[in-house]
Each structure stands twice: as C-alpha cells, then as structure tokens.
C-alpha cells in the first residue's frame, strides 16, 4: 500500500477572537507549546476564501495556548472579527524541524493501525480523525468487520501506546480493554499475514 501523500501545509491553529482595536487577532494553537509563528512569516488563512498574509507581530500567551498576532492588511477590529473561526496553516518548510521521536498529527490521517499478536500483525483500522478531550489528543480509528460494518474507537496519543510509527503504518501496543470488544476477541485468523494452511 503506498504511503499517504504528505501535505505541504499544516494547520497550526484557529483564529478565535479579535485582539485590541487595530486588527490584532488571537490564534488558539493546536500545539499549546508551539513557537512556530515568527514575525515576517507568511501563513494561509483558510475560511470561505483562502488567502496568504504576513505576520507583522507575534506575542505568545503560554497559559492559554494562544498567540496574539497582527496580520498585514487587517487594520481594524471589524476586519479582525470577520476572521473569527478561520483556520491558520503554515508551509511545512517554514516550521521547525522535527526531532527523531516527533511527528505531525496530520501526517497520521488515513494510516492503517495494527497491533502485534505473537509474530503477526492484527489490523485495527485506519486513523480517520484527530480529536481532543481537553487533556490529550486522541486518534479516532475506524475498523470494518468482514461484513462491512464499521466500528470507531479512540486511542490516546501517548508514547507508551505507539510501538512504531512508519510512513505507511502505525503499530500500537495497547493495554487490555482499550479496544472495542469486536477487536479484542478476534482470533489468529484475523491477523496479517494469514497463518499458513494445513
């Protein structure tokens, strides 16, 4: 199976409100600790219309997981108010390089998920969304049974649960009880590669 295409831009936050009277806005960052936004950087505003703007100033508010920014061409509070809810994307090449054990959540979308059962891999579905419960991020994984019925389940995105995260597959090591009953009770015949006959 070919690896999913890597997006050239990454969504890093959402404009949640105006800030001040001269067109500033507050961006809620998906990664509360991110410091990727820099003065002079160009970002993409994704809403009813897509446009690219330059950041004229950036001020982080760590305890809120937000950044207060001024965008070129947004000069009034009314203009800033119109951007409420607009998503903010940045070019991947403009973001800091990742450490060996880091990855962008968006890169996991559509990747198959499996777990080891002895010396075999059991398919658990594919990542269809990234959610948050307010405390941590979660993979939403969709699995289809042999009859085509679909089951969705959630997995906290924690290092101890991820055995390997490759370009084409995520292999997980989960404690008992985290999977839906349909997946917990599957037999060896449902693992991959299939057991040899005879």
What is the domain partition of the chain in residue ranges? 9-94, 105-190
Six-digit token string for 177? 């009880």
Is the predicted pLDDT of residue 189 greater than 60, yes or no?
no
User: Residue 7: its pLDDT value, please?
Assistant: 63
Determine if the pTM surpasses 0.85: no
DSSP 196: P
Nearest to 69 by CA among 41, 95, 97, 96: 41
Query: What is the residue-wise DSSP string for 50-99?
Result: EEEEEEEEEEEEGGGTEEEEEETT--SHHHHHTTTT-EEEEEGGGSPPPP
Q: Which CATH number fits domain 105-190: 3.40.50.300, 2.30.30.240, 3.40.50.720, 2.60.40.420?
A: 2.30.30.240
Euclidean distance between CA atoms 107 and 98, whole angstroms:
13
Strand partners of residue 137: 132
Instruction: Determine the average pLDDT of the residues in 65-90.
Output: 95
Q: Using 50, 70 and 90 to split pLDDT, how confident is the model at 1?
A: very low
* Of 9-13, 77-81, 186-190, the least confident: 186-190
The matching CATH number, chosen from 3.40.50.300, 3.40.50.1980, 2.40.30.60, 3.40.50.261, for 9-94 is 2.40.30.60
The pLDDT value given to residue 2: 45
Residue 33 falls in which region: left (phi positive, over 0), alpha (psi -120 to 50) or beta = alpha
- The residue ranking higher by pLDDT, 6 or 19, is 19
- Residue 119 DSSP code: T
Q: For residue 3, what pLDDT band results from cuts at 50, 70 and 90?
A: very low
Bridge partners of residue 50, in order along the sequence: 46
Instruction: Please determine, for residue 14, whether its predicted confidence score (pLDDT) is greater than 50.
Output: yes
CA gap 21, 76 in Å, rounded: 6
Is 28 in contact with 62 (CB distance < 8 Å)?
no
């Amino acid at each position: 199976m070919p690896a999913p295409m890597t997006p050239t831009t990454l969504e890093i936050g959402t404009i949640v409100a105006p800030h001040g009277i001269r067109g500033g806005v507050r961006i809620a960052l998906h990664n509360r600790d991110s410091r990727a936004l820099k003065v002079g950087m160009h970002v993409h505003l994704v809403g009813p219309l897509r446009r690219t703007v330059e950041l004229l100033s950036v001020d982080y508010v760590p305890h809120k997981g937000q950044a207060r920014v001024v965008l070129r061409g947004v000069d009034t509070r009314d203009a800033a108010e119109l951007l409420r809810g607009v998503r903010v994307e940045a070019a991947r090449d403009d973001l800091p390089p990742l450490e060996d054990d880091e990855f962008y959540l968006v890169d996991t979308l559509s990747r198959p998920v499996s777990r080891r059962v002895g010396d075999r891999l059991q398919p658990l579905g594919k990542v269809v969304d990234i959610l948050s419960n307010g405390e941590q991020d979660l993979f939403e994984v969709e699995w289809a049974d042999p009859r085509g019925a679909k089951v969705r389940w959630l997995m906290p995105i924690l290092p101890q649960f991820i055995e390997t995260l490759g370009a084409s597959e995520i292999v997980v090591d989960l404690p008992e009880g985290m999977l839906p009953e349909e997946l917990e009770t599957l037999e060896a015949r449902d693992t991959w590669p299939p057991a040899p006959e005879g």
